[in-house]
Structures are given as structure tokens and as C-alpha cells.
Chains A and B, each alone.
Chain A
């Protein structure tokens, strides 16, 4: 926990400029660009020679003290020629950028703000212009206006303007719906004024960034035209022509290519990098306004606590011990699952429950070795049928996937490959596990779809994921998980994304499949109703730790942990009409900011001084019933009459219809 409070941020003036100046790249590129501009503008004063001063004895000399960048075939000083050529290149850039900005800003803002027919027309013209290489149309312009660089660069500006306008339009769209714009509109501010006063400042940063990219392209374009001799005459001190002249000396003095090409490349590089730095600075200013300085999350080195020793259960199908998961992001390791252990027996249904951020999905995915990028298991064992599968190499573990362990995940539609038909992806899994193809493969696919009670399975095989409803997609996902006849199905929030009626159907289906196949199910959920509905055993997770682990009846009837009690109390399924929904105050502390002592204590109604004294171990106060609370005994087991006894609050099991 951070104890030092940072001073309240003072609103700085020119926040973008400040952010920009903090970036060394921006400072260096800006300095270089300014240097080139100044040197070009004052070339007659600065350059050591005039652009056309001959020094025949020193022709093609290469860099010397007299000619720092060497001389060309007539002994003309390279540095001086480049300095004199600068103003023409800069003028071309300015012409193109100004044209592009003057067209793109109003058109882009109007298209985004007004929308409708104007927007469609702009989009249509943009598509047309982007379809043709700009240089070809500029050649037409140069045929009409021979040798006219201004016409060429203005035409270039016009041709890049549509792409530029499209980006401005994209930035305008969200602004147009922003609160301050609606407020201005309600206040009767005219549309034109809204665009000028409210939208224009909002798109300025993007426009500057884009303008610097356009400038880099304009430079390269202008130089290319000069090189081709279309906007400059041979012998003219123009950057493109200087390269063209160097080309003639390619076998006698190849050095001449270096200063000319190098200067152009450095200019273009500076403009690009400056644009990038500007974009980063703008992003920094934008996010700083939103989140403040963002306290750095520090990984918590897990302090040793003597949890009750749970030997690996020999009869368990899955036995997880001391499983820890760390995520690495922004160069920092953050512990998200902290020495979690539990068992799943064959044919049993076990629930992993907790609020969002408890680490329950990550625990389940870690068992399957399917952690998202940046996540890794740092300690622990995962025994499957007595074998520690956490130690298997990837290839050996892959053989367990599908055939021993199956997964159904949270969003059914997103968990199917949109590019392949159901028959194709289900068939791939069937082919993998049953080694059948053709008709036999298809028969097995149909059998699987019938097993998940899919109507019209033949038609579904032909369908693509986007043609299915959420419920149908979840049935397909279950069928895919069943293809390898797994012994353990891990279901990660399998009903969360579905309608209530579909949720019931899917839960019923899972229950039935389990009866038919005898597989075990590990179900991850935040919904105690689901737990009560189908689980035999429940593991309650909080802030990466197991807080309680009990049979489902004991958990609901005789919970041994204040957090479980809070969860049961917060279940909307048994809320009283007319009363506020009971909630646990506060939030799950995010990984990286877990208290060293009891992680629930800051939110716990029964927190006492001993709760914050040190780490709390997981104990087994009752056989087969685990709880992590230093006050388990006094609160739940030997409660003194009249003390702050929690049990009267404890309601009956919610929503459980099947009396056992």
C-alpha cells in the first residue's frame, strides 16, 4: 500500500508542449528540423561558398577541411549546394501541408459532425482518390503546368487531403456526441460556432500529428519530382537534382550519394519521429487527465504462512496444490493467484466462486496452461490422475487437451472460429481425437450435436458462427469440448453471457451430460445460484487466495468465513422486495495491492485488531471444511451468546430446489 500521498496535480499551461519536451526524441528532432529551416533560410549568409562557385582543382574531392561534405564534378561545394537547395524543398513541403490541412480540416470535421449525405459523398470521393497513385495524377498536372513545382505540390496536398480528412472525421465522431457539445447545442450555440469553438480544438492534436506525416511524405515526393527532372533543371541546386547529379558520378565518387540522400532521409526521419513523439505526448496528456499518475502496482512477495497441509488426495481426479500465477506487464511482475489448492473427484461438480478479480478464471486457465500472454505459473503442482501435469513439457501436455481436459468459455460466440463452418471446426476436433474422416467424422459430429440437444444438427453443421444465437453457440462450444470425451470439463462462467432462460437450459444440459458421461466439472462462476444449482463442492476465492472450501450444503448452511457470508448475503436471488440489495461494501483489492494481513479485513464487518496483525493461514476447523479467518472459532464455532455473531444473518440456501 502506498502511504505517500502525491500532491494534487496543478493544471499546467500548455500541457502538450510540456509532455513533448519531456521526450528526448521530440527535442532532438525538433532541434534538427529548426536547424535545417534556419540554415536554409539564411543560406546566403551561412554557406561557405555560393551554390555555383567552381573549384575545379578540388573536383570530386570527397570531404576535406575546405569542403566539409566534398565537391561535385565541377568542384562545387556540396554543403553550400544543399543549404541553398533547402528553401525550395521547404517551400514545397509548406505548400503541400497547407493545402492538405486547409482542405482536410473543414471537410473532415463537417463529414464527422454533419454526417449523412455529405459524409457519404466525402467517403466516396476519398475511396476514388485513394485508389490511384498520387504521382500519376501529379504527372498530369505537370504536363499541363510544365516544370511548375507549386502546382505539383498543391496537387499532392489535394490528393493526400482525403485520407487526412478521413482521420479527422474519425476523431470528430466521438467529440460530436460528447457532453460538452450536447450542452452547447442545448444552450442554443450555433452549429458553426460549435464546430469552430468545440470540435476544432479537439482535433488539433491529431491534425498536427498527421500534418507532420504529410510533411515527411511531401518532402520525399518533392525530391523525387526534382530527381526526375520534372520540377528542377539539371545543375540546379535542388536536393533531388543533387542526387541525380551524384548518380552520374556513381563509379568515380560514390561518396556524393551520402550527404544528399542522408540529409533527405534525416529530414524525413525527423518529421516521422516528431509526429510519433507528438502522438505519444498527446496520448500521455489525454490519459493523465483521466487516471492521474497511476500508482505503480508492486508485486507482493508472498509472506510465508503456515496453511494447513493438504496431502495430495490419491483418489482425486484433479488435485491442485500451492498454485501461484504471476502476470508480467510493463516490466513488473504481479501475483494474481497465491498458492491455491483444491481437489476435484471423478464425477464431481466443483464450483470456483468469488467476485471479479478474485483470480478464479486465471486459476482454471492455469490448470489448462492457457494463461493469456504475460501470465505464467510460478509454483505449485497440478496432479491429474496422480501425475503432476504442471511438469509435463508442452508437447506431452498437448496430448491431454481435449481428451483428458476440456474447456468451455465465457463468451460462446467469441469462442468459435468465425472463418470456419461449425462442421469444419467440430470435424477437425473429431478427426483429431477419433482419427476418423469423411462420413464417420460427420456422423460423430451429428452425434455430438444431438448430445448437446441441438435442434436441426445437419443444418448447424453447415452454418458459420455468425449465424448462430448465443445459446446455440454455447451448445456447439460444449459439443467441441466433448469431442475428445474429457474426464474433466472446465467451464469458465459458461452462462454469464446468456439470457436467463438460456442459462437454465445450459445448466440443465451440463447436469444431464455429467449424469450420462460421468465426467467431472469444474465450474467458474460469480453466481451463487449456479453453485447451489449444480455443485457438489465449492471453493471460495478472494484476492488470489482460497478463503473457504466446503461441501455445498455446509457452505450454505454453516459457512465458516465472513467473506462467504457476505457473498451469500449479497446474492440478489433472495433479496427482499422493497429493500436495498445487500452488498459487501468496498471492492476486491486489485492484484499488486493486497494487504499483507487478512486481504478481506478492510471490507469485513467482523474485522478485529488481530485480523491485521499478520498473514492469515487457511485452516481446517471442521473435517473437510477449510476456512481462512483468524476468528473462525470465536465467530462461527464457539460463538459467545450476544456477541457479534454472524449466523443469524445467514439465510437458507438460495434457489436450491433439489432437497438432498
Chain B
């Protein structure tokens, strides 16, 4: 088990280098240079030079990247151009919101998606068709629009839930839960469809395999057949799709946090983009990449648990 983890961690190094270096490369493409973008055309020469110095723009790109990595090694990601705050402080304060949104959504959509998938594999017909429809709707409906429609119905019309805003769980746990209901529903709906479809297909595949017949002929109960044998074997493709859905969810938080005014990384990402705040954007990219690395590790552990072939070799 430890070997798998070590191997996977090693594999995540290229991912981290790839993403951060790509970001740096993109930044170096900035027409003119970032200092011009930040200060605009009517800049004072002294101020301009000082900002260039401060941004490290006087050095070649690889040196800038090396410098960024070495400050990163000291736990720093620089300071925001917009307000001069430390990037790490700023991001860490917002990480919790994004993580709770993503984790909650992933759990909810995996739970509902897998259950729906099993149910629709066992009795097809209307249930299976509605899973297909949900999955198609999840793909074609813009999520920001779905969010607005839900706000119009549940917040504006029915007053059941707050339209926007975030309540800290330390202030009010129920307020926190209520503030996350709509964002979680918006993000989970398309994920549920995808996971349910994949689970159904995987279950139907497994239920047609000869070993199910052997076990059934041996007298194994229906319950054990479905939940112990079929589900375990269908697990690998299901976990794969959950991993992919998680990555899509991370992207989705950027929209959801903006629509619902949640103070997370996604909301900050859009603000920072609008303000050309390069250090903050670079920091957010790094944070998201690390989240992906951690999730991939968890998924690998699940694979190993599900598939003895991976465990042994």
C-alpha cells in the first residue's frame, strides 16, 4: 500500500511542475509586460520601474520560475499586486469554503449517483430513462443559469433558502448548511447523472458476467450478489468517473462561488483575473493542483482496495 502511495506521489511531481511552469510560461507571454497591464498607459516611469523590479520582471523567465519555486519552498507565494496581502494568507482563509463545497458535493453526488445507478440497473424502464435525461440536462444546461433559476424559485419566490452569501460554521451550523444547499445542488445535479449512468452500465456489465451465475447457482443471496460481488466489481469504473467528476466540480466551484457570493478560491480566482493579479492566480492554480493530487491519491487507494490485481503487483 505504501509503495503505491509513494509511486503515485512521485507521479504527481511532473503534474505540479507542468502546471506551475505552464502558468509561468503563459505569464511571460503577456503583451508589453504585466507592469504595463497593471499600471495602465498613464504611468509614472519611476513607479513603473519599481513595479517591474518588484514583480521580478527584469530577470529571464526560467530564473523567475526558479525564484518562485524557492520562495515556495519557504512557504511563501509572494504578495497580491492588488492589495499587497500575502497570497498564502489570502488563499488559506478561503480554502475551507471551497473544500467544504467540493467535498460535500462529491459525497452527495457519489451517494445519490451510485444508489440511482444500482436501482436503475436492477429495474430499468422509467428510472433508467430518467437517469439518462438527468445526465443530458446536466450537460446541456449552463450551471450558472440553473443556479439563478433555483435562486428565483427557492430564495426569491419561496424564501426557503438564502439567495447568496456564506455563513461560517462556527457562527451557525444550520446557517452554514442552509447557505450551501443551493450551491451543492447546482454542482451535484450534473454529477449525479454522470455517476448514475456509469454505475448502471458497470453494474449491468458485471451482472452479465459468468461468475455472478456461478455464485447465484451456489445459493448466494440476491443481496450479497448485488452489494458485495457486483458492486465491488463495478467499483473501478465508478471510482474512475467519480475522480473525473471531482475535477469538473473544482472547475464548477468557480462559477458557483461567484453566483452565490461564496468567499472561496473560485470567487477569488475570477476577481484576481479581472485585476490581473498574477501572484494570486498562480497561487490558486497551485492550490487546485494540490487538491487534484490529493484526490488522485485517495482514488488510487480505492482502486487498490477494489482490485486485488493492483494490490498484489
Contact = CB atoms under 8 A, between A and B. Distances in A.
B216 interface: yes
Contact of A410 (B210, B222, B270, B289): B210
Nearest to A229: B274
B251 A247 contact: no
B139 A228 contact: no
Given A128-B14, A401-B218, A466 B309 contact: yes
A69 interface: no
A525 to B, nearest CB: 17
A597 interface: no
Interface stretch (A141-149, A342-350, A509-517, A545-553): A141-149
A258 to B, nearest CB: 9
Nearest to A262: B145
B57 interface: no
Interface string B291-307: 01000100000000011
Nearest to A477: B214
Interface stretch (A39-47, A249-257, A571-579): A249-257
Contacts of A203: none
A265 interface: yes
A477 B29 CA distance: 64
B213 A407 contact: yes
Contact of B209 (A141, A260, A414, A484): A414
A120 to B, nearest CB: 13
Interface string B246-260: 011011001100110
28 contacts: A130-B244, A131-B289, A132-B247, A133-B288, A134-B251, A136-B251, A136-B269, A136-B285, A137-B19, A140-B281, A140-B285, A144-B30, A146-B274, A227-B142, A250-B148, A261-B145, A261-B149, A269-B136, A368-B217, A398-B221, A399-B219, A401-B216, A403-B219, A417-B229, A418-B308, A419-B308, A429-B218, A432-B219
A272 B209 CA distance: 32
A481 interface: yes
Nearest to B233: A419
B156 A131 contact: no
Contacts of A411: 210
Contact of A406 (B217, B254, B277, B306): B217
A243 B306 contact: no
Most buried by A among B19, B224, B306: B19
B232 interface: yes
Contacts of B217: 368, 370, 401-402, 405-407, 481
Given A136-B269, A373-B208, A268 B26 contact: no
Contacts of B250: 133, 136
A143 B213 contact: no
A246 interface: yes
B176 interface: no
A261 B208 contact: no
Most buried by A among B136, B211, B224: B211
Contact of A143 (B216, B218, B273): B273
A143 B281 contact: yes
A247 B217 CA distance: 59
Contacts, number: 222
Interface string B127-146: 00000000010011111110
Contact of B308 (A230, A247, A399, A464): A464
Interface of A: 124, 128, 130-137, 139-146, 216, 220, 223-224, 227-230, 240, 243, 246-247, 250-251, 254, 257, 260-261, 264-265, 268-269, 272, 365, 368, 370, 372-373, 398-399, 401-403, 405-411, 414-421, 425, 428-429, 432-433, 464, 466-467, 477, 480-481, 483-484
Given A251-B156, A373-B208, A406-B218, A140 B26 contact: yes
B210 A224 contact: no
B156 A409 contact: no
A144 B258 contact: no
B139 A216 contact: yes
B289 A425 contact: no
Nearest to A144: B30
B111 interface: no
Given A243-B145, A272-B139, A483-B218, A143 B211 contact: no
Contacts of A414: 209-211
Nearest to B136: A272
A253 to B, nearest CB: 10
A143 B277 contact: yes
A139 B296 contact: no
Contacts of A251: 152, 156
B72 interface: no
Contacts of B140: 216, 220, 265, 268-269, 272
B9 to A, nearest CB: 14
A138 to B, nearest CB: 9
Given A132-B247, A480-B214, A224 B255 contact: yes
A265 B273 contact: no
Contact of A230 (B222, B232, B233, B274): B274
Most buried by B among A130, A136, A228, A243: A136
Most buried by B among A143, A251, A403, A467: A143
Given A137-B23, A143-B281, 17 more contacts: A130-B244, A133-B250, A135-B254, A137-B19, A139-B281, A143-B273, A230-B270, A230-B273, A254-B156, A269-B136, A365-B213, A370-B216, A373-B208, A398-B222, A401-B217, A414-B211, A417-B229
